[in-house]
Amino acid sequence: MCGCVKLRTRLEEELNMSLTEFKHFIDEEMITIMRQMDAPSQIFDYLYLGSEWNASNLEELQKLGCA
């Protein structure tokens, strides 16, 4: 069972209601969260490839010496 299904199933159990109509929303939010967990990849000493989240995360940029 993938993380999205596990999360939705657990929420349904806790809330004692079906969340089938919210499946798409829950899936999209999980994907967003998972993308935010990915670290940028160093391509060269001076170049990183990452997501919009990586580019806007000042703390991470400072740790990498980019800001």
CA 46 to mean position of chain CA atoms: 25
Is-above-0.85 flag for pTM?
Answer: no
Residue ranges of domains in the chain: 3-63
Mean pLDDT of 54-67: 88
**Helix (H), strand (E), coil (C) string for 30-53:** HHHHHHHHCCCEEEECCEEECCHH
What is the model's pLDDT at position 41? 93
What is the model's pLDDT at position 16? 95
Taking only the tens place, the pLDDT of each residue in 37-50 is 888 999 998 899 99
